[in-house]
Amino acid sequence: MTIDVWAFYEQYTESDRSSLSERERQVLAVCDFRQEVNSGGFDSYFRYFGGDTAMTAMRGLPRLLGSPWAELLGEAVALLGTPYPRDPDDRAEKLDSDDLDAMLGDLDARFYKLEASANADARLAEALNN
C-alpha cells in the first residue's frame, strides 16, 4: 500500500508525533517546512508552529530531498542565531527586531526555485513507503 505524503501529514499535523519513527518525524518536519514556506515564506515558517520542527527537518533534508534543501534551511535557521530559538514567540521577536526581510525574501526565492525543480512530494512519499 502506497502512503500519500500529504494525507499522512494531515493525519499528524496537530497530533503528538513522539510515537512515530525518526524517518516519519523527519518527513513530517519537511512537510511543515514546505507547507509554511509555500504559504507565507520563511517569515511565516519561523513565526508559527512550522518552525518548531526546523531542527528535525534539517536532520532529514539531506537524505530526503538533498543538500540544496538542507543548505537553504540551514542558512535561514542561522539568521535567527545560536542556539536556535525553539519558542515561536522568541523567533517572532528575533524576526521583528532584526531587519531580515531582504535576506528572507532571497531565501524564499531560492526555496520556490527548488520547489519548481524537484518532485519533492514523490521523494517524501518514497521515504515513507520504504
pTM assigned to the model: 0.94
Cell of 109: 526565492
Burial class of residue 74 in the structure, from the number of CB atoms within 10 Å of its CB (0-12 exposed, 13-18 middle, 19+ buried):
middle
Per-residue pLDDT band for 25 (boundaries 50, 70, 90) equals: very high
**How many domains does the chain divide into?**
1
Banded pLDDT at 1 (limits 50, 70, 90): low
Q: What is the mean pLDDT of residues 61-84?
A: 97
Assigned domain for 7 exists: no
* CA gap 84, 95 in Å, rounded: 12
Residue 97 inside a domain? The answer is yes
Residue 76 CB coordination number (10 Å) = 26
pLDDT digits (tens, 9 = 90+) for 42-61: 999 999 999 999 999 999 99
Domain assignment present for 5: no
pLDDT at residue number 118: 86
In a domain, 16, yes or no: no
Q: For the chain, give the mean pLDDT.
A: 95
Task: Give the range of the structural domain holding residue 55, as residue numbers without chain letter.
Answer: 22-129
